[in-house]
Amino acid sequence: MSNEDRKDPPSGMRKGLTSYGDSGFSLFLRKAFIKGAGYTDDALGRPVIGIAATGSGFNPCHGNMPQLVDAVKRGVMLSGGLPVEFPTISLHESFSSPTSMYLRNLMSIDTEEMIRAQPMDAVVLIGGCDKTVPAQLMGAASAGVPAIQLVTGSMLTGSHRDQRVGACTDCRRFWARFRAEEIDQQEIDDVNNQLVASVGTCSVMGTASTMACVSEALGIAIPGSASPPAVTADRIRVAERTGVTAVQIAASKLTPDKILTVGAFENALRVLLAIGGSTNAIVHMTAIAGRLGIEIDLDRLDAIGRETPVLVDLKPSGQHYMEDFHHAGGVPELLRQLKPLLNLDALTITGQTLGEEIEKSGPGFAQSAIRTLREPIYPQGGLAVLRGNLAPRGAIVKQSAASADLMEHEGRAVVFENIEDMAARIDSDDLDVNADDILVLKNIGPTGAPGMPEAGMLPIPRKLARAGVKDMVRISDGRMSGTASGTIVLHVCPEAAAGGPLAWVRSGDRIRLSVNKRELTLLVSDEELAMRAEQNPVEPPSASRGYRKLFLERVTQADQGADFDFLRAKADGRRAPR
């Protein structure tokens, strides 16, 4: 090892040498190999910026990956760095069986280990579809190398018989109408061609759009980067600026732990509430924070939710689509409106504070997608945290997308033991169910399904849908798509498969939901529940080999982000929100 190497931690191509027992030989060999691709010593002497590219033929949400990678490379080279693209796992919602959430932690491990294994002074994480951005941020937080997030951007909206449509709120709306026999096969086939009008992520405030906004609010993506649609010039310019910024964070050694602080998580949680964002983001943010030793406090989240109104008028809580949000000024305009509620001294990836970035965003202009604090879409935050004997460790309801007349409701439970049971019986004319009943689906939690699938929005039983019923209270230990709406209680914790009280609910029991009091109560005595538990003890699911075995043995519950226990950092007492 040279004297120079002893003074400074190695950087660029000297970083993380392959272990041959002779570091000089390791560097010699590495350079010899990469020179096979035509690099010069000048290029190889530059700061190396890794680009985690997640293009895949199975992932149309990332269909603009080649253009984004090109633009990031341009930004890196304009700033004197050497861009090096590398692949990781790519996850698309509709092409990940049994569910993309089952694979999120695997993608996070891939991302973390590839950042650590390969020589890079900073990394650009390009993701977009729901689980990819959380997986990348979880991995980058653990790897500890300067990192910046770039999202692929939303798809364009389409048009069906002169009606504007977009994935996936409208996918669900049209499918519900088809189930209710309001539209025929021809129309459902027609709309299928129009719901996804271009590459890019879902065009409403689903999980992908939510995580894009959350990334910008966290300060780990450049200002204004969440909202430009995938196929626009704005999106390409964001990519170039991301490349420029990546070289700067490599020089300043701005690691994720300096950005992803308690103050930053508070800001991002405020934004999550104000956009009426996806319930999934709670689980993902808990997992990202958990990689840095920070705990997300659900009760405090609920408390700040009571003072953080929904300002963004986007489906599924409102009317507009992501491209409208972009035209209205995107996250910078939202942050300007939320300014009195934010930690303005939080450091962002640009090296400036959030407050300084808000000042730079200008005075704003007349528009209709982002409201002011005085004229919100919904007076409280989009999400509420429920507690009670059915959910001792919490449950979530997206109140901004729920039916006002069902938020205080008591009803008879109609229970499905698992997804298969539900699929077999939900459309049966013999199903004993009324519009006032509460549908309960068990065993779709982290280990139950496994992977906590987005099956929490149980379909309205066909005979009730035909009769015009649009919404019912539905309760499960699973998740729902961020693009879905209804009075849906999710993430009941602990899950049924882990012996949570949900396991002991029987058809005919009565359940009381009070969103106002934040209560979810099974009206069955403790003695009766204890007797049921003793008579039918829960057998946790298991597997004999492979990733499934690892997953079932090490995945945590929803209140710990459904991360693997061995990937979380030791909690250091920091909690967000404070």
Give how far Cα 420 sits from Cα of 320, 378, 431, 480, 523, Å: 35, 36, 15, 17, 26
Q: φ and ψ at 491, to 5 degrees?
A: 55, 30
Segment 60 to 79, residues that bind ligand FES, using CB under 6 A: 61
The two structure tokens encoding residue 457: 């929005």
Per-residue x/- mask for ligand FES, residues 365 to 384, rule CB under 6 A?
--------------------
Q: Which residues contact 451 (CB under 8 A, 6 or more apart)?
A: 98, 99, 100, 101, 102, 103, 551
Pick the closer one to ligand FES by CB: 85 or 454: 454
Q: How many CB atoms lie within 10 A of CB 504?
A: 22
Question: Which two tokens mark 22?
Answer: 């002779």
Among 201, 278, 308, 560, binds ligand FES (CB under 6 A): 201
Binding-site member from 14, 46, 50, 93 for ligand FES (CB under 6 A): 93
3-state SS assignment for residue 416? strand
Contact call for residue 461 and ligand FES (CB under 6 A): no
CA distances from 198 to 181, 191, 194, 206, 349 (A): 29, 14, 9, 17, 30
Cα distances (Å, whole numbers) of residue 463 to 177, 182, 432, 468, 474: 13, 13, 10, 9, 17
Task: Count CB-CB contacts under 10 A for residue 346.
Answer: 23
State the pairing for strand pair 383-388/391-398. Answer: antiparallel
- Closer CB to ligand FES, residue 27 or residue 283? 283
Cβ-based nearer residue to ligand FES, 92 or 398: 92
Residue among 202, 268, 289, 294 that touches ligand FES (CB under 6 A) = 202
Least CB distance to ligand FES at residue 480 (A): 13
Distance of alpha carbon 137 from alpha carbon 64, whole angstroms: 20
Q: Please list, residue by residue across 174-213, b when 16 or more beta carbons sit within 10 angstroms of its beta carbon and e when fewer do.
A: bbbebbbeebeeeeeeebeebbbbbbbbbbbbbbbbbbbb
Cis peptide before 256 (omega within 30 of 0): no
Least distance CB 112 / ligand FES (angstroms): 22
Helices (H), ranges, 8-158: 23-35, 41-44, 65-78, 100-117, 132-143
Tell the smallest beta-carbon distance from residue 90 to ligand FES (Å).
11
**In terms of CB distance, is 209 or 343 closer to ligand FES?**
209
- Kindly tell me which residue out of 129, 221, 301, 413 binds ligand FES, with binding defined by CB under 6 A: 129
Compute how many residues bind ligand FES; rule: CB under 6 A: 11
- CB 212 to ligand FES: min, Å: 10
Asked if 130 is part of the footprint of ligand FES (rule: CB under 6 A), the reply reads yes
Residue whose CB is less far from ligand FES, 39 or 95:
95
Q: CB nearer to ligand FES: give 207 or 248.
A: 207
Query: In the complex with ligand FES, which residue's Cβ is closer, 206 or 394?
Result: 206
| Least distance in angstroms from the C-beta of 94 to ligand FES | 6
Q: Which is nearest to 472 in space by CA: 455, 460, 454, 485?
A: 460
Give the nearer residue to ligand FES in terms of CB position, either 208 or 475: 208
At its nearest, how many Å lie between ligand FES and the CB of residue 188? 19
- Identify which of residues 94 and 428 has a Cβ nearer to ligand FES in the complex: 94
Segment contacting ligand FES by CB under 6 A, of 200-208, 377-385, 401-409, 540-548: 200-208
CA separation for the pair 269, 214 (Å, rounded): 8
Is residue 338 classed as helix, strand or coil in its secondary structure? Answer: helix
Q: Which is nearer to ligand FES, 121 or 216 (CB)?
A: 216
CA dihedral 257, 481, 59, 292 (to 10 degrees): 10
Tell me the closest approach of the beta carbon of residue 458 to ligand FES, in angstroms: 20
Given the rule CB under 6 A, which of 202-210, 276-284, 412-420, 444-452 is the region that contacts ligand FES?
A: 202-210
| Minimum CB–partner distance for residue 208 and ligand FES (Å) | 4
CA distances 454 to 322, 495, 543, Å, are 22, 14, 22
Q: Closest distance between ligand FES and the C-beta of residue 119, in Å?
A: 31
* Distance (Å, whole) CA 211 – CA 56: 20
Of residues 208 through 237, those in contact with ligand FES by CB under 6 A are 208
Binding ligand FES (rule: CB under 6 A), the pick from 92, 172, 320, 371 is 92
391 Cβ neighbours under 8 A, 6+ residues apart: 489, 492, 493, 500, 501, 502, 520
CB of residue 91 vs ligand FES: minimum separation in angstroms?
9
Return the residue of 50, 206, 332, 450 that touches ligand FES, per CB under 6 A: 206
CB of 152 or CB of 443, closer to ligand FES: 152
The residue among 129 and 274 lying less far from ligand FES, judged by its C-beta, is 129
Q: What is the spatial distance between Cα 451 and Cα 295, in angstroms, rounded to a whole number?
A: 21
DSSP-derived secondary structure letter, 567: G
Site for ligand FES in 392-421 (CB under 6 A): none
136/245 with CB nearer ligand FES: 136
Name the one range near ligand FES by CB under 6 A: 50-58, 201-209, 336-344, 484-492.
201-209
* Best CA proximity match to 390, nearest among 535, 514, 232: 514
The residues, any chain, with a CB within 8 Å of residue 494's CB and separated by 6 or more, are 392, 393, 445, 477, 500, 557
Nearest alpha-carbon partner for 325 in 208, 204, 472: 204
Shortest spacing between CB 534 and ligand FES, in angstroms: 43
Asked if residue 171 binds ligand FES (CB under 6 A), the reply is no
Name the site residues for ligand FES (rule: CB under 6 A).
61, 92-93, 129-130, 167-168, 201-202, 206, 208
